[in-house]
Structure 1
C-alpha cells in the first residue's frame, strides 16, 4: 500500500457505505490488503485508513508510549480507542461506523486522499476549506531544503 497517490471524490450512501475507487481497490487487493483499519486523525477532523501491514507498526509505536503522560493517553484513546478493522464487501465498499462518521462529519460527498502508505477520508466541504487555508508559521527546517 506504500505507493497510493491521488485524491478521489467519492460518495457515501445513507447506511454509511463508501466504495473504494477501482484503481485503489485493485492496488489494495494485489498487495493482499482486503482488510483496512480506520481511525480518527489526531489533528484534523478526518479519518485515517491503513492496510493491516501499515497499521501494525504504527499501532506498536503508539502502544509503546508511556501511558503516564496525559498527552499520550489522549492520543491512545483517540487513535487506538476509535480504530476499527473493516473488510471490503464484494462490491469494494466499506461500512464506516457511525461514531467515526460523526467525528469526521462525513455525509454523502467525501474525499479520499491517498498519501503513499495511508489514506485520509474527509468530508468534501471540509477538505476544500482545508486546502483553501494559507500556511501559517515558520516552515520546519526539514522542508526548507526540499525541492520538487
Structure 2
C-alpha cells in the first residue's frame, strides 16, 4: 500500500528518486504511464499485470475501452529502480504531466502518482470541499 506526500526532484538525466518508503515494494520493477488529471501513475509490476488482465477481459468492440487501452499502454514504460532508488521518466511522460525539476509524489492506495507541484496544489484545493462531502458516497451506511 502506498500513502503519503513527498517532494523529490527529477535530475538533469530525467531520473526521479522514489521516496524511500516506496522502494522496497517497487524493487522488482514497475510501470510508469499516463494517469488521469495530467499526472503520471506508477504501478508495481504485480498490480499492472492485474490491471492488464482486467482490461483484457473488456470488450474490444467498446470504443471507450480501446481508447483507454491505447492511451495507457502507448505511454507505458517498464522500469527497475537503480541502487539509489531512481527511475527514468521518459520525455513523453514528463511533457504529458508538465513536470520540471520539482514534483509532488503521492501514494494513492495501490499506485503512486507524480504531479507538477502547481497542478497538485490546484487539484487539492478544488477537491478539499468535495472530499469532506464524499464519505457517504464512498462508504454508504457508515
State the TM-score, normalizing by the size of structure 2.
0.87
2:94 is the counterpart of 1:101: yes
Provide structure 1 residue ranges, at least 5 long, that are not aligned to the other structure: none
Structure 1, residues 63-109: CA drift from partner, whole Å, max 9, x if none? 22112222111101111221110011121100110111111111111
Structure 1, residues 26-61: CA drift from partner, whole Å, max 9, x if none? x326xxx431111111x3100110111111110111
**Cα 1:139/1:96, change in 2 over 3 Å:** same
What's the counterpart of residue 13 of structure 2? 15
Which has the larger share of strand? Answer: 1
**Cα 1:89/1:146, change in 2 over 3 Å:** farther
2:121 is the counterpart of 1:145: no
What's the counterpart of residue 28 of structure 1? 25
- How many residues end up aligned between the 2 structures? 139
In structure 2, what is the Cα distance between the partners aligned to 1:22 and 1:28? 10
In structure 2, what is the Cα distance between the partners aligned to 1:23 and 1:91? 13
What's the counterpart of residue 72 of structure 1? 65
> What value does the CA root-mean-square deviation take over the aligned residues?
2.1
CA contact (8 A) 1:11 1:19 kept: yes
What is the DSSP-based 3-state SS (H/G/I as helix, E as strand, rest coil) of the residue aligned with 2:6?
A: strand
Provide structure 2 residue ranges, at least 5 long, that are not aligned to the other structure: none
CA contact (8 A) 1:59 1:80 kept: no
